[in-house]
Amino acid sequence: MKMNQCVHGMIYLAVLVAFAACDAPPVPLDDIVIEKTFVPEQCGRAVKVGDYVRYHYNGMFPDGKKFDSSYDRGSTYNVYVGKKQLIEGMDRALVGMCVNERRLVTIPPQLAYGKEGYGDVIPSDAILNFDVLLLDVWNPDDGVQSETYYTPENCSRKVEVSDYVRYHYNGTLLDGTLFDSSHTRLRTYDTYVGIGWLIAGMDQGLLGMCVGERRIITMPPSLGYGSNGDGKWVDIPGQASLVFDVVLLDLHNPKDGVTITNQDIPQPCLRKSISGDFIRYHYNGSLLDGTLFDSSYSRNRTYDTYVGKGSLIGGMDEGLIGVCIGERRRITIPPHLGYGEEGTGTKIPGSAVLVFDIHIIDFHNPSDTVVIITNYKPEVCETLAKKGDFVKYHYNASLMDGSFIDSTYNYGKTYNIVLGANQVRRHLVIPPHLGYGERGVDGEVPASAVLVFDIEMIEMEAGLPDGYMFIWNEEVSADLFTEMDADKDLQVLASEFSDYILRQVNEGKGRLAPGFNANLIIENMFSNQDRNGDGKITEEEFKLKADETPHDEL
């Protein structure tokens, strides 16, 4: 019984204590309480005393009632940390925060507005809760920070003051908010560097970059858009740090000229191009970042043009002077010697440096004649070929770059023609105006191509005097008409005429012009004698060539 009374008394006492605890005032805080509700994976920098920060916040009482919010005002709260520009609790709470970190901060009255409160907004001895999101941090001592995250293998040149550059960029605030991008406009940003055309931080951040390099350029507002920001073209708040992700695409200086590199010169080089030459070449044309904009190879046709006569852009006119046939070279052309500030409107942007990798196929000059190089000549050469002689020869035909065209050796027989020649083996270089001209031969010889023939004379038969297709080797018979008139009917038919001429040739008394169709020659001779065209020759019609002007074949 006594035991039960004791237990009941203890339970009653516990209930009284519990009620007393519920009615007791909160235990006062000695310091701020920080709960980190979000911490970013990467924290490049934490707030220190003396830093300038931009942050958003919601201010609330312990019961959840909101007394202030930067979100409601539509602008961040911007202030120095640790310089007594904030209540002491907030000065402490911001130290160590990272950009994009979120903290829930509880501040006791003695580190907030104390017994005095703040007007009608914050009562005396109020505990304050702040939900803080840090968006930006910088220090007055900060300068431009550049971090290269991609470097090309080859960097022959770096950006210097007064250079003109073309680059793409994404511009963000320090919290990652995108405010501008050249990529969305599908157009590079083109400008001079170091002469005040850019914000100071970008002027500094671009120096030393290589074409193809990618870097992050971070700058404080003092080197960006300052305390006022930029709301005219893009949405950049005041006192904002700026981050630019930049890729450099092009670089030149107004003082640049044409640059020749990567030369591969064949040996020997017997001739170099001069102004006025007509040249055939292949090329790949690209921008400085490697973007291909044109290629003659893709069209399977060389680019054919005069050099030094204004038919090309200035840089190419200059870059093609002094080349050898078969040479390969890289020609780099600044925009003022290329397509200038306007570009071509499609594949070549304005102010673009051009790079041409070229291969010279051939060139000639309109004043060129046939070049003859004798490779072999027999010691005894008493008879020289002359115009009208009938020659049989083998040849290998090619273009100046060695591309094969044709060869009689492949057919196992000579090429036979009436042709002027005076050698046994020769190397002939023939300019197009003495070859196949501007049209060439479809599928075989390109237009305006210089031709190379290596020839070997196999046989030669002397030709007839100029203007003759038949000659007598001995004195002509005084009774020629009677000899032709085989049936003695006082007229010569075509068959009688043909039989007689062929008999004279076979007996060595006469010669037909070599290299021509004998039957056609004889038909033409008969027609010349058949004055009235009745298919027969009378004695009155018949005359020797020496007896008349113009001469016929007899």
- Residue 526 is among the residues annotated as catalytic for this protein: no
**Residue 268 identity (one-letter amino acid):** P
Q: What is the CA radius of gyration of the chain?
A: 49
Q: Which of 52, 55, 91, 113 is flagged as catalytic?
A: 113
Q: Which helix (H) or strand (E) holds 185?
A: helix 182-185
Q: Of 134, 100, 129, which is closest to residue 34 (Cα–Cα)?
A: 129
Catalytic member of 61, 67, 192, 436: 67
Active site residue 80: no
Can you tell me the distance from the alpha carbon of 443 to that of 446, in angstroms, rounded to the nearest whole number? 8
CB atoms within 10 A of CB 171: 21
The per-type count for the chain, helices as H runs and strands as E runs, is 10, 28
Which residue in the block uniquely carries the two structure tokens 């170091």?
194
Helix runs in 186-306, H state only: 200-205, 296-299
Q: Is there a contact between 283 and 305 (Cβ–Cβ < 8 Å)?
A: no
* Catalytic residue (one of 52, 57, 167, 470): 57
3-state secondary structure of 70: helix
Q: Which amino acid is at 17?
A: V
Query: DSSP labels for 413-453?
Result: S-EEEE-----SEEEEEE-GGGTTTTT-BTTTB-TT--EEE
> Which run of H or E residues covers position 361?
strand 354-364
Q: How far, in Å, CA of 441 to CA of 321, rounded?
A: 28
Beta-strand relationship, 536-538 and 491-493: antiparallel
Catalytic residue status for 113: yes
Candidates 55, 130, 278, 306; catalytic one: 130
Residue 130 known to be catalytic: yes
Within 13 Å of residue 354, how many CA atoms lie on the same side as its CB? Answer: 30
Among 61, 68, 265, 415, the active-site one is 68
- Measured between its terminal Cα atoms, the distance across the chain in Å is 171
Cα–Cα distance, 212 to 324 (Å, whole number): 32
| Sequence-separated (6 or more) residues with CB below 8 Å from residue 212 | 150, 152, 155, 247, 248, 249, 289, 290
Catalytic choice (87, 217, 522, 537): 87
Q: Which residues belong to the active site?
A: 57, 67-68, 87, 113, 130
